[in-house]
Amino acid sequence: MARRGRGARVEHLPFVFLSVLALLVGLWGGLVRIGWVMPDLRAGLTLAHGPLMVSGFLGTLIGLERAAALARVWAYSAPLLAGVGVVALLAGMPVPMLFAAAGLGLVVAFGHLLSRQPAAFMIVMAAGAGAWFVGNLLWLGGGPIVQTVPWLTGFLILTIVGERLELSRLVRPSRGARAVLLVAVGVYLAGLVLTVPIFALGERFAGAGMIGMSLWLLRYDIARRTIREPGLPRFIAASLLSGYVWLLIGGGLWVVLGGAVAGPTYDAMLHVVFLGFVFGMLFAHAPIIVPAVLGRAVPYWPGFYGHLALLDVSILLRLGSDLGGWTEGRRWGGLLGVLAILLFLAATAGAAASARRLPPPPQGGMRGQ
């Protein structure tokens, strides 16, 4: 596939539409699951909240970002299969095979990238793609959805940690410091593997790995420097640092509560990581991802802090309510979290719509190629 200028990204719009559709339906289902009285869009669709959010929304976006970086037709197999999976899920059709195939497509894409750049950060991100593939294979094999959750979590955590490791070269951590992060990643991966034979023990190991990764990021990520800069760099840094704190808290919960499969404690374990860490990272990276995918700049404006603050408040309320047994607080925490995400979508779309198209990149392509 020929390289294209970043202004010519109309072909990416169907993928973005399907990913946002998965997000919106997933949020709707999440509100129903948490106790809000709302019409069920389709019988049983609320049970698909997790797959829609991870494989449908984020899987399509992450696959699309990698495909845009590679600029090869075959690389679009991952976001295409994930997008088709969204349609199939909404239609009530079986989807584990589609999402597993999407994961395999992303693994192949990272294999190609590794052949060109066999760096540690690329290996970590490739491991994340592998976790997505394995998680959906377990689901395809008939395993309980709860057993796939640690692997789907691993897909997102390792993808993000790999990207931050890549950018850590700007602060030049020592070889020993980088080795510490890789040990934490290794502990986390060992925990994922252990969840298959010994679920509770595996989650506790994974939690220890999360703690190690979060502490490393809090110490070595460039966000510690850019938090002192004005405008967009400070907002990105604030989003990143808050996300690392949520990952640290989530790791602690996984260590203490590992093995929970339902109820408020399970809710706390998942949503501190998925909302606090993953969406904190998404808030931070949106001004970078949107230009790469759609060829539109996302100009900074101070209102961005609104959705970040609302997200953090919502997680605090939800976490405290989960651990304290306050059902009503949990419901309101969930609703505030949805509002934060919707506010983020509106703010990002508004900023992008008001911006100019980006010029074509110089020969050599985008970041990640």
214-232, pLDDT tens digit by residue?
A: 999 999 999 999 999 999 9
Domain end among 91, 116, 141: 116
Q: Give me the chain's average pLDDT, please.
A: 89
Whole-angstrom CA distances from 213 to 219, 244, 260, 299 are 10, 9, 22, 30
The reply to whether 21 and 70 lie within a common domain is: yes
d(CA 238, CA 251): 20
Gap between the terminal Cα atoms of the chain:
14
Given a cut of 60, is residue 45 above it in pLDDT?
A: yes
pLDDT given for residue 369 in this prediction: 32
pLDDT given for residue 367 in this prediction: 39
- Domain-embedded: residue 102: yes
The reply to whether 250 and 200 lie within a common domain is: no
Given a cut of 80, is residue 209 above it in pLDDT?
A: yes
Min mean pLDDT across 47-56, 289-298, 359-368 is at 359-368
Domain end among 98, 116, 134: 116
The reply to whether 111 and 151 lie within a common domain is: no
Specify the amino acid at residue 12: H
- Domain-embedded: residue 294: yes
The reply to whether 22 and 91 lie within a common domain is: yes
If one counts the domains in the chain, the total is 3
pLDDT given for residue 11 in this prediction: 83
174 or 184, higher pLDDT: 184
The reply to whether 252 and 354 lie within a common domain is: yes
- Domain-embedded: residue 233: no
Beta bridge partners of 357: 296
pLDDT given for residue 356 in this prediction: 62
364: left (phi over 0), alpha (psi -120 to 50) or beta: left
**Structural domain containing residue 89:** 10-39+46-116
Q: What is the reported pTM?
A: 0.91
